[in-house]
Amino acid sequence: MKETPMLTEPILIGGQWRQSAGSMKSFAAVDPSTKTPLAEAYPVSPWEEVEAALAAGAEAAEALRGVPRDDLARFLERFADGIEAHADTVAALAHVETGLAIEPRLRSSELPRTTDQLRQAAAAARERSWCHATIDTKRGLRSMLGPLGGPVVVFGPNNFPLAFNSVAGGDAAAALAAGNPIIAKANTGHPGTTKLLTEAAFEAMQATGMPSGLVQLIYRTSHEAGARLVSHPLVGATGFTGSRGAGLQLKEAADRVGKPIYLEMSSVNPVFVLPGALEERLEAIADELFASCSLGTGQFCTKPGLTVVLASERSEAFLEAIAARFQAPPGVLLGSTGLWTIGDAVRQLRDAGAHLVVGGAEVDGPSYRYANTLLSVSGEQFLAQPEALQTEAFGVVSLMVFAHDVPQMQAIARRLEGNLTASFYTHTDGTDDAIYDGVAPIVRGKVGRLLNDAMPTGVAVSPAMNHGGPFPATGHPGFTAVGIPASILRFGALHSYDRVRSHRLPPELQDRNPTGRMWRLIDGAWTRDDVG
Amino acid sequence: MKETPMLTEPILIGGQWRQSAGSMKSFAAVDPSTKTPLAEAYPVSPWEEVEAALAAGAEAAEALRGVPRDDLARFLERFADGIEAHADTVAALAHVETGLAIEPRLRSSELPRTTDQLRQAAAAARERSWCHATIDTKRGLRSMLGPLGGPVVVFGPNNFPLAFNSVAGGDAAAALAAGNPIIAKANTGHPGTTKLLTEAAFEAMQATGMPSGLVQLIYRTSHEAGARLVSHPLVGATGFTGSRGAGLQLKEAADRVGKPIYLEMSSVNPVFVLPGALEERLEAIADELFASCSLGTGQFCTKPGLTVVLASERSEAFLEAIAARFQAPPGVLLGSTGLWTIGDAVRQLRDAGAHLVVGGAEVDGPSYRYANTLLSVSGEQFLAQPEALQTEAFGVVSLMVFAHDVPQMQAIARRLEGNLTASFYTHTDGTDDAIYDGVAPIVRGKVGRLLNDAMPTGVAVSPAMNHGGPFPATGHPGFTAVGIPASILRFGALHSYDRVRSHRLPPELQDRNPTGRMWRLIDGAWTRDDVG
């Protein structure tokens, strides 16, 4: 038998690894450390292939209703095990595709975070408190969050090839835990890593007897096909992490037909450093700010991109202290796109009146690098062009705003767009509390997570996390993309059962608590007891 | 002193009843029982007035942060008391404006439901379990649903002048309980009723010391101003109940700028009557169907507009039994708009192949009436034009679909749009269970509430209710418009606090349980205890 040569890496549709019909149109990933294209070619899937994934996903959604949640949990755990079994290979390829360090980043930090998320999702799928089973015994009404009835499409970002990966990251784990199949659209920056992770998912699907369309993978489509995908009648919902431009295009398509779409887009994560804190620990805060800014070469959604201080000699010294740290050699960016989006953003900031303190240019050399860049602007200037001066620069770029007094700082706070986070640094003895009380309440409503005396990078996978916030940070202020079980709620539909005969109720709503440990709201009280 | 004559009824902006600048452009309500315009003139507010409401609402949102939740609860209770104090006047005016009966409908059913909702909202505002306070003691992370940071705009429907009223109905109660001010846009069908209810709110605001912009009222704006309103930067969110056309226009405007909007639009509420049920109790089900269809002259969001049966002699007899009941004289519609929207919908259904069994025409006379209308169609025809045959007719209009076998019934189920409800009638002895098991799981994912052996009208105010469902019934499948506390969740923003100093935390997240009765999720367990 003669084998047809594989033109491009296979896609996974309906439980089959198959050659894409889009093989003639392909792309390759690029090693950003050497600017060298990698050998593997990945297909751009035509619409017919996307449609096939939708059909298989819809079938899997129906089949999943009959799959015991313990089995689904076993799949998620086996998936995590499989990733660990290939941890070195995965981390090595992710490094080549993204330029992120194997250590301390990919191998011993991001990969364990990824498998931990999958195991937390498994625990949630097994225990099921997340579905908020609610029972009104008097009226014969019972409700819970059930699956969406169609596959969830996941678009992962370029900056976390594992923990936010389309197939194995937080959105995928949450969508699966809620009982939905997923269609992963690989980030084109790390298609090989995504394929390795999908192989682990596929092996786990087979080992645990999951429906064949539970996890599917395509690498790329046209923008038009992407818009059709998220707005297709068979789709349950979409999870997207990436740029504001791409996100808004998908959002428009999904919104038009009322398909839920959860987006995590852009955020400058303002940090307010109040005068007492600068008196007390200027150098330490400068250290923290630079460390947080430069983590992952500034390519974090939670990178502090905007610092607000009161103008004073001390805050001028703070700017200088930060400037000194920004002189450090820059890290490698995820790809060439980063270079021009950063260049573009810095240009926009300068055009809007920001003064360049340090950096501001691409660094020539064998890898993609942009000089660490610090800018400053007066409060007055900021208020003249607040939108332009909140342009996100996805790299080690930060803007310091000098407010001339507290009312101006409050005015700046009022003009902030929706952000994932905001931080306040204040003196430990409470001398900043009056300013805090005047500014923090304004900021509170504009962000998902409010920090005290800490930088925003480092997003703990906790039930009390909010990796979310008002638009344009995300598409809805009520949901988080990180933290189990809260992130799962995005992928549930509210199902009420009105006088439904008891043997027809899902296990979660029957009189007997199906796990013995599941929390349910019975007649107004949270309990793990059975009904009656 | 000479008084300037009032040209139109006053609007309520920023705590002041004032003459609208739009007085020259006005409208009047019409008594649908006599087709007579009422004496009072109501203004069409120009944009500047809407903007003034937004500014006052934003101020009120900031001020509300400092208002103890017990005081907010007292306001809601006082509001309910005030409505009760004027119950006869309110019911009488609502009757004149809508044609709905004072008894048994408005005075002793809808009005008590309205005040009950306000009191349940007060209890939720006081007790606060709805905000899902979540505490992770190990990581120093605490989260809760907080207010949105801006006023909630409420557009109420024409069909429930009290219980879904813009100022006193379910959306208003939920938005207020979550700590948001509201801007009520009166339904133009019952502006006087809305004014009376707003007077009760205003009196309660003053008596309990609420911020002056807590509740504001305008009667009407241009469509353009409405779109600007729901997409304004100062707005927190919008709650809309009404027609699909109007809802989609507002949705598009709000979605474009990422402002949450919750819509309850259209629904045909399919009822599957399986063969065993027809064998067992044909006449009783026909009674129930007609009673549910004709409640409120068919102008209920949950009116059963589509019945699916298997073709047989027995189901033909069922159609005849219903047809006999539909011969009854029709009730009065809410207004002239109803006449032509029903006429239009019936035309669309007939154009798509539905056969007219009974009715199908306006009834001449001194009030707005349309003959009770029953139509039928084969399963094959339905599948040929499933969208057109799901056109909602907001009156006593119902379509029966005759599927020729169970697979065709399943195919019909698969083509259903998102609905608020679906009902299944089956034999009490279980003989229909095989068909139920084949069809109900398909339907489950398409509706908010699934009923057994009951018609969908009668939406209990219960924590386990879902008055919601997938698009186009609503804009998001995860939320309900009825049922406290669940309906409140729509109007909260997720607020995480990361290592925030304890004295700066909101009371709900401090170590001590602020009410002693509030349920909080502390380190994974729901409890009413304090932390530690």
pLDDT, one tens digit per residue, over A303-358 is: 999 999 999 999 999 999 999 999 999 999 999 999 999 999 999 999 999 999 99
Report the gap between the CA of B377 and the closest CA in chain A (Å).
Answer: 24
What CATH number is given to the structural domain containing A341? 3.40.309.10
List chain A residues with CB under 8 Å of B61: 445
Claim to verify: residue A366 and residue A406 sit in the same structural domain: yes
List chain B residues with CB under 8 Å of A238: none
Residue A7 lies in a domain: no
Claim to verify: residue A200 and residue A89 sit in the same structural domain: yes
What is the Cα–Cα distance from A397 to A269, expressed in whole angstroms? 12
Compute CA distances A115 → A76, A112, A151, A156, A185, whole Å.
9, 5, 22, 16, 20
Q: What is the pLDDT of residue A403?
A: 98
What is the Cα–Cα distance from A119 to A107, expressed in whole angstroms? 17
Claim to verify: residue B417 and residue B353 sit in the same structural domain: yes
Claim to verify: residue A203 and residue A277 sit in the same structural domain: no
What is the Cα–Cα distance from A272 to A276, expressed in whole angstroms? 12
Q: Do B454 and A257 touch (CB under 8 A)?
A: no
Whole-number percent of chain B with pLDDT over 70:
99
Strand ranges (E), A147-244: 152-155, 182-185, 215-218, 237-241
Token representation of residue A1: 């038998």
Claim to verify: residue A115 and residue A221 sit in the same structural domain: yes
Give the residue ranges of DSSP H helices in B30-169.
47-64, 69-85, 87-98, 111-127
Return the bridge partners of A399, or none: A306, A375
Sheet of strand B525-527, all strands in order from the earlier edge strand to the far edge? A355-358, A373-378, A397-403, A306-310, A270-273, A419-425, A447-452, B493-498, B141-146, B134-136, B520-522, B525-527
Return the bridge partners of B419, or none: B447
**Using an 8 Å Cβ cutoff, are B192 and B38 in contact?**
yes
List chain A residues with CB under 8 Å of B497: 449-450
pLDDT (tens digit, 9 = 90+) per residue, A466-494? 999 999 999 999 999 999 999 999 999 99
Closest chain B residue to A504, measured at CA: B437
Q: Do A468 and B494 touch (CB under 8 A)?
A: yes
The average pLDDT across A75-85 equals: 98
Token representation of residue B100: 């709905």
What is the Cα–Cα distance from A505 to A131, expressed in whole angstroms? 14
Residue B520 lies in a domain: no
Claim to verify: residue A350 and residue A330 sit in the same structural domain: yes
Residues 6+ apart with CB under 8 A from A437: none
Catalytic positions of A are: 264, 301
Catalytic positions of B are: 264, 301
**Using an 8 Å Cβ cutoff, are A524 and A165 in contact?**
no
pLDDT (tens digit, 9 = 90+) per residue, A443-470? 999 999 999 999 999 999 999 999 999 9
Of B452, B467, B484, the last residue of a domain is B452
Report the gap between the CA of B284 and the closest CA in chain A (Å).
Answer: 18
Of B405, B424, B452, the last residue of a domain is B452
Q: Which of B263, B269, B436, B498 to mutate to test the interface with A (most CBs of A within 10 A)?
A: B498
List chain A residues with CB under 8 Å of B521: 463
Claim to verify: residue A259 and residue A298 sit in the same structural domain: no
Closest chain B residue to A501, measured at CA: B452
Strand ranges (E), A174-269: 182-185, 215-218, 237-241, 261-264
pLDDT-derived band of residue A84, with 50, 70 and 90 as boundaries? very high
Claim to verify: residue A236 and residue A329 sit in the same structural domain: no
Residue B416 lies in a domain: yes
Report the gap between the CA of A79 and the closest CA in chain B (Å).
Answer: 24
For chain B, the straight-line distance linking the first and the last C-alpha, in angstroms and rounded, comes to: 66
Q: Classify A51 as helix, strand or coil.
A: helix
Q: What is the pLDDT of residue B1?
A: 37
Residue B302 lies in a domain: yes
Residue A384 lies in a domain: yes
What is the Cα–Cα distance from A44 to B271, expressed in whole angstroms? 44
Q: Do A498 and B150 touch (CB under 8 A)?
A: no
What CATH number is given to the structural domain containing A246? 3.40.605.10
Claim to verify: residue B329 and residue B254 sit in the same structural domain: no
Residue B508 lies in a domain: no
Quick one: how far is CA B430 from the chain centroid?
35
Look over chain A and give the mean of its residue pLDDT values, rounded to a whole number: 97
Of B264, B296, B316, the last residue of a domain is B264
Closest chain B residue to A457, measured at CA: B498
Q: What is the pLDDT of residue A23?
A: 73
Is the bond leading into B485 cis (omega within 30 degrees of zero)?
A: yes
Claim to verify: residue B118 and residue B243 sit in the same structural domain: yes
* Pairing mode of beta strands A419-425, A270-273: parallel
The average pLDDT across A206-221 equals: 98
Q: Do A445 and B147 touch (CB under 8 A)?
A: yes
pLDDT (tens digit, 9 = 90+) per residue, B77-132? 999 999 999 999 999 999 999 999 999 999 999 999 999 999 999 999 999 999 99
Q: Do B441 and A499 touch (CB under 8 A)?
A: no
Compute CA distances A124 → A128, A203, A505, A518, A519, whole Å.
5, 22, 20, 10, 11
**Rounded to 5 degrees, what are φ and ψ at A36?**
-100, 125
List chain A residues with CB under 8 Å of B150: 445
Token representation of residue A447: 């962000």
Say what angle helices B223-230 and B244-256 make with each other, to 10 degrees.
Answer: 50
Scan for tokens 């608020």, then name that residue: B420
Residue B458 lies in a domain: no
Strand ranges (E), B390-464: 397-403, 419-425, 447-452
Q: What letter does residue B107 receive in the DSSP assignment?
A: I
**Using an 8 Å Cβ cutoff, are B303 and B331 in contact?**
no
pLDDT profile of chain B (532 residues), mean per 10: 64 97 88 96 96 98 95 98 98 98 97 98 97 98 97 98 98 98 98 98 98 98 97 98 96 98 97 98 98 97 98 98 98 95 98 98 96 98 98 97 98 98 98 98 97 97 97 98 97 98 97 97 97 92
Q: Residue A505's closest CA among A70, A176, A135?
A: A135
Q: Do A136 and B463 touch (CB under 8 A)?
A: yes
Q: What is the pLDDT of residue B477?
A: 97
Domain boundaries, position A378: 270-452
Is the bond leading into A104 cis (omega within 30 degrees of zero)?
A: yes
What number of helices (H) and strands (E) belong to chain A?
Answer: 14, 25
Report the gap between the CA of B278 and the closest CA in chain A (Å).
Answer: 18
Token representation of residue A208: 């645990």
**Using an 8 Å Cβ cutoff, are A170 and A79 in contact?**
no
Q: Do A143 and B486 touch (CB under 8 A)?
A: yes
What is the Cα–Cα distance from A499 to A514, expressed in whole angstroms? 20
What is the Cα–Cα distance from B516 to B529, expressed in whole angstroms? 7
Q: What angle is formed at CA B466 by the lines to CA B462 and CA B472, rounded to 5 degrees?
A: 155
Claim to verify: residue A261 and residue A274 sit in the same structural domain: no
Q: What is the pLDDT of residue B402?
A: 98
The verdict on pTM exceeding 0.95 is yes
The dihedral sign for the CA sequence B470, B474, B480, B483: negative
List chain A residues with CB under 8 Å of B475: 258
Report the gap between the CA of B480 and the closest CA in chain A (Å).
Answer: 8
Domain count, chain A: 2
Residue B483 lies in a domain: no
Q: What letter does residue B181 receive in the DSSP assignment?
A: -
Maximum CA extent, chain A: 81
Claim to verify: residue A289 and residue A436 sit in the same structural domain: yes
Q: What angle is formed at CA A268 by the lines to CA A262 and CA A269, rounded to 5 degrees?
A: 90
Q: What is the pLDDT of residue A25?
A: 85
**Using an 8 Å Cβ cutoff, are B353 and B381 in contact?**
yes
